[in-house]
Amino acid sequence: MLLSGLVKAGWPVDHLIATARRPERAAELRERYGCRVLSNAEAAVAADVIAIAVKPQDAGVLMAELGPHIPADKLVVSLCAGLPTTFFTKFLVAGTPVVRVMTNTPALVDEAMTAISAGAHATAEHLGVAEELFKPLGRTIRVPENQQDAVTALSGSGPAYFFYLVEAMTDAGILLGLPRQVAHDLIVQTAIGSAIMLRDSGEHPVKLREAVTSPAGTTISAIRELENHGVRAALLGALEAARDRAREIAAQNG
Ligand SMILES: NC(=O)C1=CN([C@@H]2O[C@H](COP(=O)(O)OP(=O)(O)OC[C@H]3O[C@@H](n4cnc5c(N)ncnc54)[C@H](O)[C@@H]3O)[C@@H](O)[C@H]2O)C=CC1
Ligand SMILES: O=C(O)[C@@H]1CCC=N1
């Protein structure tokens, strides 16, 4: 996702180096993106910024291989959900700066939300470098590292919740007798329009919802059903579960 997002956002491919475990995967990346594909050890020396974008469960094996090859003047940027920056410092030469980021899949369409935190030895300058990396992919904000598990639950996983909602509402349209494609098109454009209003109007979401909700109208009948089914409470619980899972990943890989 990161490589694809960076290339799509216009990062020059001669500034990008990818790594892969299997030669077939290396050839595929070279073919698809036109960037250099090196071994982990070679990339650690050749790159100024080393992005760790493997599953958190694979990060220990990767860091054990890579850590000793990374000179302390490089910047390590982790995209791994749950893993604190202290996880990485264990494998690195003392003093190597680590920045933790949580981005999301809209990076693939230059609309990512990326939260950036300084870990050990990371200065404002290192945060700036990470921002330059992720800004072409969408918006960036800085957060304290202790907020990253909450960020992961909210915006890291967030696209999945919206896709889930669209999927469920499309089913509801079918229940009401609409053809699947019509239901899909109606709800996708409604999602886009609503998202742009949220971003551009400056209005609170409550105000925007109230503007749709006529007295004794149709919307309030639907809202009553959502409240009856505890949808708000379900969302609070869902995000708490995602946050807890991020903590569990850290504990399991500590
Ligand atoms: N998928 C998402 O929406 C988001 C994912 N993340 C984080 O990004 C990280 C990557 O997630 P995905 O892209 O979903 O995982 P993925 O499994 O699709 O991609 C990771 C890639 O790294 C490769 N890899 C694993 N170990 C390697 C090694 N030792 N050397 C070289 N390559 C190696 C794998 O073959 C795979 O191609 C995770 O830590 C995840 O928590 C963060 C934000 C959003
Ligand atoms: O599900 C996951 O673990 C990753 C992290 C945030 C989004 N996807």
Cα(95) to centroid(ligand 1), Å: 25
Which of 21, 52, 54 best tests ligand 1's pocket when mutated (most atoms within 8 Å of CB)?
Answer: 54
Could you list the residue range(s) of the whole structural domain that residue 244 is in? Answer: 158-250
pLDDT at residue 197, as a whole number: 98
**Residue 224 belongs to some domain of the structure:** yes
The residue among 42, 40, 47 whose CA lies nearest residue 61 is: 40
Task: For residues 133 and 56, state if they share a domain.
Answer: yes
Task: For residues 73 and 17, state if they share a domain.
Answer: yes
How many domains, the chain? 2
Task: For residues 73 and 178, state if they share a domain.
Answer: no
**Residue 47 belongs to some domain of the structure:** yes
Asked if 242 contacts 153 with a C-beta cutoff of 8 angstroms, the reply is: yes
pLDDT at residue 1, as a whole number: 87
pLDDT at residue 254, as a whole number: 76
- Write out pLDDT tens, residues 227-244: 999 999 999 999 999 999
- Write out pLDDT tens, residues 15-49: 999 999 899 999 999 999 999 999 999 999 999 99
Annotated binding residue at 55?
A: yes
Task: For residues 140 and 14, state if they share a domain.
Answer: yes
Ligand 1 touching residue 55 (CB < 6 A): yes
Task: For residues 12 and 105, state if they share a domain.
Answer: yes
- The predicted model gives 122-140 an average pLDDT of 96
**Residue 178 belongs to some domain of the structure:** yes
Task: For residues 44 and 90, state if they share a domain.
Answer: yes
Q: Of ligand 2's atoms, which has the minimum distance to the CA of residue 249?
A: 3
Whole-model pTM? Answer: 0.95
**Residue 153 belongs to some domain of the structure:** no
- Write out pLDDT tens, residues 202-224: 999 999 999 999 999 999 999 99
**Residue 27 belongs to some domain of the structure:** yes
Annotated binding residue at 53?
A: yes
Q: Cα separations (Å) of 128 from 75, 132, 135?
A: 11, 6, 10
Which of 4, 17, 55, 80 best tests ligand 1's pocket when mutated (most atoms within 8 Å of CB)?
Answer: 55
Task: For residues 34 and 101, state if they share a domain.
Answer: yes
Q: Is 5 helix (H, G, I), strand (E, B) or coil?
A: helix
Kindly report the protein residue whose alpha carbon is nearest to atom 39 of ligand 1: 80
Q: Are strands 112-118 and 75-78 parallel, antiparallel or unpaired?
A: unpaired
pLDDT at residue 74, as a whole number: 96
Task: For residues 130 and 177, state if they share a domain.
Answer: no
- The predicted model gives 6-14 an average pLDDT of 90
Q: Cα separations (Å) of 136 from 112, 175, 186?
A: 9, 41, 30
- Write out pLDDT tens, residues 101-130: 999 999 999 999 999 999 989 999 999 999
Cα(187) to centroid(ligand 1), Å: 31
- Write out pLDDT tens, residues 51-80: 999 999 999 999 999 999 999 999 999 999
